């Protein structure tokens, strides 16, 4: 009994010794192990703000991932560079379509390819969102060419010159000048590259005259005849863009399509995020670099972050969603709380906008799906209303109002939610019923929304569009 009592103090002393050893391990990390402090030390505050600015800039323009061809951007760059060299160096006529989802790096590929061109060609940038008709496109082409040549171009002598400084739209060139304006591009002193963003919107212009003149001029260029090269580069995220071209326009297009996609693997998806977060700002200290890299490594080792990347990649594989999620965390960083938290927002699809559909809204979505199946990706309210009435005639029990405005309200709600997107500019002289729209969501998402309604008639009618 006496021996047991004597051993208890010894055990207590051993336990205290073990606690002291553990405390030393925490307070004195092994050599090479970086300790991430709870806040930024005063002498590293400037480096913290520089790191934050560098990461935000990298998230807006993601850098290349070493050893990984993210979304095939390297292959796309090589293909586009070769095509542009044909026009800028060998004076060829070329056309192609850059196709890829939003945020996949289409614009970046184009800008990198343009920077490689020597000598510098004339570069004209158009946008289907800004140049909503051919007259505005003609004016913009003339303005940009005149600015780069340093002299007026594209105007008749008795016409008022375009005011480049004020961007005056008072004197727009008449549409009849379009063929003459475009056909004179090869006679310029330098090759011309025309980049058309939102290329699908240009297909909605009257008779597709601008596209026809551009592609016809490209096709007519012959090497060795004294003309300069011309290249037309269309940029779009719509897979069905080529089907929107008229037959005469399609026959003059080269049908060369360069695809830029999202990362094909989870490793590439995660690697893109790491490349953005580990970018090094200029003139920063080695001490800060070690601390920041250790905090980023801890962030990616978190189970919540690992699960978030796997879930996001499997559901949407969206680079914009990835950038926005990380950006929302980076902008909140401050010296008192300088490290990334692992509570990233959960990924959602467009389906979140389609919950609790009204009956008229569901029918309009099904009508749009039917139009898409029949090759009519572009539709008007009048066309969908006609389909709606036909459906109500067949299904006598449909709980809708044809004269009470419910159809129009449902259509306006879909436009407001950007589920139906306008492909033409609104005009006060044009009946709104005939404005052109397209459906921005996929057929599968419409099917899921219809299934949630529980309406057998709707499900049967939708099945006809498959």
The pLDDT of residue 413 = 84
In the prediction, which pLDDT does 49 show?
Answer: 94
Say if residues 296 and 277 touch (Cβ distance below 8 Å). yes
pLDDT higher than 80, residue 98: yes
- Of 161 and 128, which is predicted with more confidence? 128
Q: What pLDDT is recorded for position 113?
A: 93
Residue ranges of domains in the chain, CATH in brackets: 70-259 (3.40.50.300), 352-463 (1.10.10.10)
Helix (H) or strand (E) run with residue 246 in it? none
**Cα 175–chain centre separation:** 32
**What is residue 163's predicted lDDT score, i.e. its pLDDT?**
44
Q: Phi, psi at residue 398, to the nearest 5°?
A: -65, 125
pLDDT of residue 236: 92
Q: Give exposure, 300-310, as e/b (b: 16+ Cβ within 10 Å).
A: beeeebeebbe
Number of neighbours of residue 393 by Cβ within 10 angstroms:
10
- State residue 19's pLDDT score: 46
User: What is the model's pLDDT at position 442?
Assistant: 76
The lowest-confidence range among 45-59, 146-160, 373-387 is 146-160
What local confidence, expressed as pLDDT, does residue 224 receive?
A: 77
3-state secondary structure of 191: coil
Q: 3-state SS of the chain: helix, strand, coil percent to 5?
A: 55, 10, 40
Percent of the chain's residues with pLDDT above 70: 80
Mean pLDDT, range 5-16, rounded to an integer = 51
> pLDDT of 423-433, one tens digit each?
776 555 666 77
Q: Per residue in 292-326, pLDDT tens?
A: 999 999 999 999 999 999 988 877 777 888 888 99
Stretch among 173-177, 182-186, 209-213, 427-431 having the lowest mean pLDDT? 427-431
What pLDDT, on the 0 to 100 scale, is given for residue 194?
A: 96
The residue-averaged pLDDT of 371-377 equals 80
> How high is the pLDDT of residue 26?
30
Per residue in 333-353, pLDDT (tens digit) is 999 999 999 888 776 555 556
Which phi and psi angles does 369 have, rounded to 5°? Answer: -65, -40
Query: How far apart are alpha carbons 171 and 442 in whole angstroms?
Result: 42
Can you list the positions of beta strands (E) in 198-352? 230-236, 257-259
Residue 75 has pLDDT above 70, yes or no: yes
Question: Which comes out higher in pLDDT, residue 401 or 109?
Answer: 109
Percent above pLDDT 90 for the chain:
35
With 90 as the cut, is the pLDDT of residue 440 above it? no
Q: How high is the pLDDT of residue 27?
A: 36
């Amino acid at each position: 009994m006496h021996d047991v009592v004597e051993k208890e103090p010894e055990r207590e002393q051993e336990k205290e010794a073990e606690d002291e050893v553990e405390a030393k391990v925490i307070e004195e990390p092994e050599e090479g192990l970086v300790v991430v402090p709870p806040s930024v030390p005063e002498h590293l505050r400037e480096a913290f703000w520089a790191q934050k600015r560098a990461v935000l800039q990298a998230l807006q323009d993601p850098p290349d991932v070493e050893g990984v061809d993210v979304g095939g951007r390297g292959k796309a760059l090589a293909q586009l560079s070769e095509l542009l060299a044909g026009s800028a160096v060998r004076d060829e006529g070329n056309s192609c379509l850059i196709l890829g989802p939003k945020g996949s790096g289409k614009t970046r590929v184009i800008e990198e390819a343009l920077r490689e061109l020597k000598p510098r060609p004339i570069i004209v940038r158009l946008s289907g969102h800004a140049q909503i008709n051919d007259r505005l496109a003609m004016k913009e082409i003339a303005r940009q060419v005149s600015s780069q040549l340093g002299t007026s171009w594209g105007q008749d002598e008795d016409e008022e010159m375009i005011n480049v400084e004020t961007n005056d739209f008072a004197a727009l060139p008449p549409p009849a000048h379009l063929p003459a304006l475009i056909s004179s591009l090869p006679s310029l002193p330098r090759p011309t590259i025309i980049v058309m963003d939102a290329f699908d919107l240009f297909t909605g212009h009257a008779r597709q005259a601008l596209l026809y003149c551009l592609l016809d001029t490209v096709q007519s260029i012959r090497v060795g005849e004294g003309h300069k090269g011309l290249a037309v580069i269309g940029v779009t995220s719509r897979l069905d863009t080529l089907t929107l071209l008229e037959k005469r326009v399609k026959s003059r297009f080269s049908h060369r399509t360069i695809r830029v996609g999202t990362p094909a693997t989870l490793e590439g998806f995660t690697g893109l995020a790491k490349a953005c977060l580990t970018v090094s700002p200029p003139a920063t200290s080695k001490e800060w670099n070690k601390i920041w890299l250790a905090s980023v490594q801890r962030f990616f080792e978190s189970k919540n972050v690992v699960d978030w990347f796997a879930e996001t990649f499997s559901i949407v594989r969206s680079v914009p969603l990835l950038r926005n999620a990380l950006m929302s965390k980076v902008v909140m960083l401050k010296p008192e709380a300088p490290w990334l938290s692992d509570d990233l927002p959960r990924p959602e699809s467009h389906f979140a906008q389609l919950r609790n559909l009204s009956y008229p809204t569901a029918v309009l979505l099904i009508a749009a799906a039917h139009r898409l199946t029949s090759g009519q990706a572009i539709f008007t309210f009048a066309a969908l209303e006609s389909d709606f009435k036909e459906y109500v005639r067949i299904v006598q029990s449909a709980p809708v109002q044809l004269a009470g405005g419910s159809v129009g309200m449902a259509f306006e709600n879909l436009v407001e939610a950007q589920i139906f997107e306008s492909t033409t500019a609104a005009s006060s002289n044009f009946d709104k019923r005939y404005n052109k729209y397209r459906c921005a969501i996929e057929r599968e998402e419409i099917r899921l929304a219809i299934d949630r309604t529980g309406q057998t008639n709707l499900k049967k009618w939708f099945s006809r569009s498959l």
